[in-house]
Structure 1
Amino acid sequence: MIKKFLSLMIVLIMALSFASCGGPVKKPDESDTPDVPPEEQEKIYALTLAEDTLFLLEGDENIEVPIGSFTVNGSAADVSLLQYESSDTSVITIQDNTLSAVGEGSAAVTVSYENASDVLSVTVYGVAENGDPFAENAVRLHGRVYENENGDLVVDNVNSGLEFAFYGTEFKASVKSDATAAQYVRCYLDGDEEGERISIKKQTEQTYVFAEGLKEGVHTVRIMKMTQQRTGGNSYSLVVTGVETGTNCRILEQGEENEEKLKIDFYGDSITAGEGNCSDTKEDAITVKNSDGTQTYASFTAQALGSEGSFVGYGGITVRVPYMLGSDITMYNIWRWYSTLNRTEYPVDPETDFVVINLGTNDSSAPNYTGEMFAADYLALLNEMKKFYPNAHFVLCYGMMGIVYKIDSAISSVVNDFDGEASYCRLPTNTSGAGSHPTIDGHKAAAKVLTRHIEGLMK
């Protein structure tokens, strides 16, 4: 009996020892639950465009937005996930994540995905109608420029010409001249006020480079005639027959003209035409080469006042008395024409603010011509002009080549007798240029006086 009890105890002790050495033991309250994986990391996207602004031309298509970087948690992300939105679909449309420039203007393109976004400012420039550089919306005419029977643009008068806006790196135009001697233009690029003098060869038609090697982008070019329409018995007319367009030069639409811009028309003789102003020796003969109609008291005044208008300068001309040029070429006869080479009526702007007339120097030498006769002719000219310039103030100038009493006195009487707004502005004398004409410095001095005079009238 005792032996059986001892044997049972030994078996029980061995069983307990086995359980404590390695057998699994469950707690009474422990349940059978699966293992839980760690929480998934939040995705943080970041987006930066390579450019803040983009310039396009109307008609550009399939333009990709320049993406700088697109990441998720610091690693590169799939750019095909990005979404695009245009603030103005009349300017920019988006298809297959590319841009199309459908109209002139500005739009914001927002690129985004989830918590990341960036904005691209896009400007679209309008292009000339059908790519035609002579279309009305493509070229800005300065002065009495007209179209001939071939559709070319003709420039006869001094300080008159053409202006273009273009996108590219260069500007070339074909110019024809039938003159028997070289003539000159001045080219102003991107608002430059000095310009570059360019010689136009006689009796040829050829292509001239007016700008090249420019940074690709939007530029403006203004080409103005330096040579008056007739000198020494020769006629000088410029015909612009075409503009080279393509990848390096796309003609843009001209912006809207400022209707509030001051409008001044200038009329005068050889002084207004710039005869002899490039010389500083009065004994020099007047030539086309030493004369510059873009560097006169008139052009400097217009520049100082920021005005727009037309310029008629004709060497030897008088108010009305037939003298050096015969009975046809007097200011009374030609002021309505485009030029003496195109005697059709020019549509003067009735909203012109000022009409500046600088005459009397040639009239003073006309034989058997009294001051009273001059005054009567001048008054007749003003009365005729007033019909077409109903709102203008007429500024009568004199004195740049000296003062003759009968002319000086007559101008004063004309101002008093004229049934309209008029004033007399005596300009400083300078006879140091070729043929005793004013030099460029003399013109600048006169422009300061005239500018102050007009500014005083505007107050």
Structure 2
Amino acid sequence: RKTDRRIEFIGNSITCGYGTEGSNRDERFKPETENNYKSYAAILARAFNAEAHFIAHSGKGVVRNYGDEKPVSDPKETMPGRYDRTLDNDPSQLWDFDQWKTDCVVINLGTNDFSTSPHPDRDSFLKAYKELISKVRSAHGDVPIFCVVGPMINEPCFSYVKELTQYYKNQLKDEHVYFAGLPDNLLNQEDDLGSDWHPSYRGQLKIAAQLLGPLATVMKWDFRTDEIYP
């Protein structure tokens, strides 16, 4: 259906739809088990009848990528460093954001920063996250930004991102950066998990259901429930 609504999603494997086609959590990932159409991001876009751009890369973090032996990764290789690329692996071609202006941005990052050791320290994580938000602001202006945490990670990422959003509200008087923490008990350990312990399609539906309300309220958008409760 024709629409004027637009959402930009920035994320990692969860946003990619990694493992959504997997039959269970013990099934190893293969390309056939990834389906972005079944990700919470694509589900939300359909529920709101919105166009969507997905800037997502499995294993990437805010300041530390999955499995890095150092607490801080090469900044050119984290999501803030890759955000403005036209092609994910080509830093020479930068995207022209004037081609497509979004109404809001949903960021779901932090899982890879804290899922393995060594963890980044608070200051390094917050500094890199602020750099990403600055890039989003430069690209899209004063649009609402939803900072999502979870459901595959909780503390300390949960507290750090909540602190970040409060900083924007209280210190910078930016009322358009929102915290959207997902409950750590949102997904069960059986039916809600697909390949490599990532959310299955059922799990992704639960994530979308949690985020539907905050986006609908802030954006003042109506929505379809059949995409989330098929």
Per the normalisation by structure 2, the TM-score is 0.80
Identity of aligned residues (%): 24
Is contact 2:64-2:112 (8 Å) kept? no
**What is the match of residue 388 of structure 1?**
139
Q: Secondary structure at the match of 2:97?
A: coil
- Counterpart residue number, 2:9: 266
One-letter identity of the residue aligned with 1:449:
Q
Q: How does 1:25-424 map onto structure 2 within 5 Å?
A: 261-321=4-64, 324=67, 327=74, 328-343=76-91, 344-349=93-98, 351-364=101-114, 365-403=116-154, 405-418=155-168, 419=172, 420=174, 421-424=176-179
The aligned amino acid for 1:436 is: W
1:366 deviates by 4.6
Deviation at 1:360, TM superposition (A): 0.7
Bigger mean CA deviation after superposition, 329-338 or 350-359 = 350-359
- Whole-Å Cα distance in 1 between the matches of residues 119 and 203 of structure 2? 31
- Residue 448 of structure 1 corresponds to 209
> Cα deviations across residues 404-423 of structure 1 (Å, max 9, x unaligned)?
x2100000011011243111
Which of 1 and 2 has greater Rg? 1
Q: What per-residue deviation string (whole Å, max 9, x for no partner) do you get for residues 321-359 of structure 1?
A: 355476232111111012224431112247421110000
Give the match's secondary structure for 2:125.
Answer: helix
Using the alignment, how far apart are the partners of 1:322 and 1:314 within structure 2?
A: 10
In structure 2, the CA distance between the partners of 1:322 and 1:442, relative to structure 1 (3 Å rule), is: closer
Gaps of 5+ in 1: 1-190, 192-256
Greater share of strand: 1
- The 2-side partners of 1:323 and 1:267 are apart by 16
Larger relative contact order (Cα-Cα within 8 Å, sequence gap ≥ 6): 2
Q: CA deviation at 1:427?
A: 2.7
Q: In structure 1, which of residues 429, 433, 439 is the aligned counterpart of residue 200 of structure 2? A: 439
In the alignment, the residues of structure 2 paired with residue 324 and residue 339 of structure 1 have an alpha-carbon distance, to the nearest angstrom, of 23
Q: Distance in 1 between matches of 2:117 and 2:148?
A: 19
How many residues align structurally? 201
- Report which stretch shifted further, 346-355 or 376-385: 346-355
Whether the 8 Å CA contact 1:266–1:312 is kept in 2: the answer is yes
Summarize the Cα distance change of 1:302–1:281 in structure 2 as closer, same or farther, 3 Å threshold.
Answer: same
Name the SS for the 1:387 alignment partner: helix
- In the TM superposition, what whole-angstrom CA distance separates every residue of 1:202-238 from its partner, at most 9, and x where no partner exists? xxxxxxxxxxxxxxxxxxxxxxxxxxxxxxxxxxxxx
How far apart, in 2, do the equivalents of 1:355 and 1:378 lie?
A: 14
1:351/1:391 contact within 8 Å kept: no
Structure 2 gaps of 5+ residues are 221-230
Equivalents in 1 of 2:65, 2:111: separation in Å?
Answer: 14
Aligned residue in 2 for 1:426? 181
How far the C-alpha of 1:378 sits from its partner, in A, is: 0.9
State the distance in 2 between where 1:417 and 1:402 align.
22
The separation in 2 between residues aligned to 1:274 and 1:262, in whole angstroms, is 22
Asked if structure 1 preserves the Cα contact closer than 8 Å seen for 2:59 and 2:65, the reply is no
CA shift in 2, pair 1:389/1:291, >3 Å: same
The CA deviation at 1:274 is 0.9
CA contact (8 A) 2:113 2:119 kept: no
Which one has a larger percent helix, Structure 1 or Structure 2? 2
Q: Helix, strand or coil: the match of 2:156?
A: helix
- Partner SS, residue 163 of structure 2: helix
**How far apart, CA to CA, are the structure 2 residues paired with 1:286 and 1:322?**
18
Amino acid at match of 1:318: G
What is aligned with 1:39?
none
Amino acid across the alignment from 2:51: E
CA contact (8 A) 2:63 2:120 kept: no
